[in-house]
Amino acid sequence: MARRERAAALRPPADAPRRAAPQARAIADLPPVLDSLFDEPIESWLALQLPASEATPTMLGRLGTLAYRYTSRVSLEADAVLLEVQGSVRLFGGIQALCAQLLERCRAAGLAPRWALAPTPLAALVLARADRRIMVRARDRLMGELASLPVESLGWSADTLERLDSLGVRTLGALLRLPRAGFAKRFGKEALLTLDRLSGAAAEPRRGFLPREHFQVRSEPAFELVTQEALLQHLAPLLEQLEQFLRARQCGVDLLKLRLAHRAGQFTRLDVRLAAADVSAERFTTLLSEQLARRALPAAVIDCELRSGALQPFIAHSDSLWRPAEHGGALGRESPALIERLRARLGSDAVYGLCLVPQHRPEIAWRVAEPALDAPSQCSAEALYHLSTLRRPLWLLRQTAQLPCAVSDLHWIAGPERIETGWWDGQDVARDYYVVREPRGAQLWVYRERLPPHEWRWHGVFG
């Protein structure tokens, strides 16, 4: 096999003469493969290392996703991506063709990683960091390549390096020649394990890289879509595809983005947000149709693009035999479905829950909250008891208003309750609250400013 591949390096693979011209040149730029004459390589690790300025998690993620096309065994380091390519060599027509193609792709993506190929991941990493562009496949030829590298390339601590220096060990070659037992005694078993992993005497299990996925599909209708029904009909297979995609991965999404292109180069963007991650195409269709019903499209649609948000783990529920809350039937997916439907049409600000804020100022003693899907109790029994002793109106006016009648017409029921607080944050209040009845019989909550001009304001209604 090794010999066959070396031959393959000399002439382009039989199946690729047509696309060969640029690739042949790329292969010719690669260094020769250092193969063993006797045995098959078991693993070949390619390290792609980015300079410190470029090695951000995003860039590494991109590189990892790119590498994922060539093998499923990809793992990330702090500054590099390691991929095991031996399993894919045949598919891509030889190790050189594979590497050439991968490096070409990196270049096209605007990345210029340092790289090296070696039988162990650590060796590949060390060689790549030292910017040795070599392709070593044989274990017995690895040592020769590593020997000249300085010991610093292992990234050991300054203390260890100093001690090695005092022993006169400055290269990896010298390091690997030290007697094992003595080395382990002086530098610890961990260090010895690292050396074994470098040379391939010990295996190095690595954490796999999973590329982040999202769903994206574009579809150009055969004719212009004018009505909402036609558009939904056209989207139906796409949503179906999305459901298949999600089900295969046991994932759900809580965000869908739809981009509709119109003839004049205009775009309409629709975002569908779900209260909880879901997979069902039917559900997506309902929500989309609500949103479309709300929007008037400026022109006929000539192109649709559907994208999903980030995938989230989705655990399917079984439907309850009973209706929710009947015979102990649990609340299923009805609540999120209701909230989504309402929000799709009315906007997300129009649907909200309530929660308490520990404040004495009445207008900020509560706030709008995200409707809770799994109902945790918000409030301690103590706080609730305190609230039940206060006399507070069931209705509060968003903005305090003028009294609906003259002060002299009010019938006093209770008060005053003084609320004077908030001097520390500039929204201080100093008010005396009264419960009153106005001439028509409504019970109101009103207050009088403690500061001149002692204005009377209406703040709540006892409904």
Rule CB under 8 A: which residues touch other proteins? 323-325, 328, 330-331, 334-335, 337-339, 341-342, 345-346, 349-356, 362, 365-369, 371-372, 375-379, 384, 387-398, 412-416, 432, 434, 438, 440-444, 448, 460-463
Between 331 and 451, name the residue whose CB sits nearer to other proteins: 331
Nearer to other proteins, 185 or 323 (CB): 323
Query: Whole-number minimum distance, CB 327 to other proteins, in Å?
Result: 11
CA 53 to chain centre: 23
- Residues 41 and 138: beta-carbon distance below 8 Å: yes
Question: What does the DSSP assignment read for 411-456?
Answer: EEEEEEEEEEE-TTTT--EEEEEEEEE-TTS-EEEEEEESSTT--E
Nearer to other proteins, 28 or 331 (CB): 331
Strand partners, 438: none
**Cα 309 from Cα 255, distance rounded (Å):** 5
CB of 281 to other proteins, least distance (A): 20
Shortest separation between residue 46's beta carbon and other proteins, angstroms? 53
Q: Measured from the CB atom, is 110 or 376 closer to other proteins?
A: 376
In whole angstroms, the minimum distance from the beta carbon of 381 to other proteins comes to 11
CA 234 to chain centre: 29
Task: Give the count of beta carbons closer than 10 Å to the beta carbon of residue 150.
Answer: 12
For residue 379, the minimal CB distance to other proteins (Å) is 6
Q: Tokens for 49, please give them.
A: 């290392």
Of 59, 177, 80, nearest in space to 128 by CA? 80
In the bound state with other proteins, the residue whose beta carbon lies nearer, of 302 and 397, is 397
Pick 384 or 406: Cβ nearer other proteins: 384
231 alpha-carbon distance from chain centroid: 30
**What is the nearest approach in angstroms of other proteins to the Cβ of residue 260?**
25
Shortest CB 211 distance to other proteins, Å: 37
Find the helix packing angle between 121-129 and 139-146, rounded to 10°.
Answer: 30
CA pair distance 238, 220, nearest whole angstrom = 11
Q: Nearest 5°: CA angle at 128, between 202 and 213?
A: 85
**Least spacing, CB of residue 272 vs other proteins, in Å:** 16
CA 277 to chain centre: 14
Nearer to other proteins, 157 or 389 (CB): 389
Nearest distance in Å: CB 79, other proteins: 47
Task: Name the helix (H) or strand (E) containing 415.
Answer: strand 411-421
As a whole number of Å, the CA-based R_g of the chain is 35
What sign does the CA torsion over 319, 320, 324, 328 have? negative
Q: What is the DSSP letter of 207?
A: P
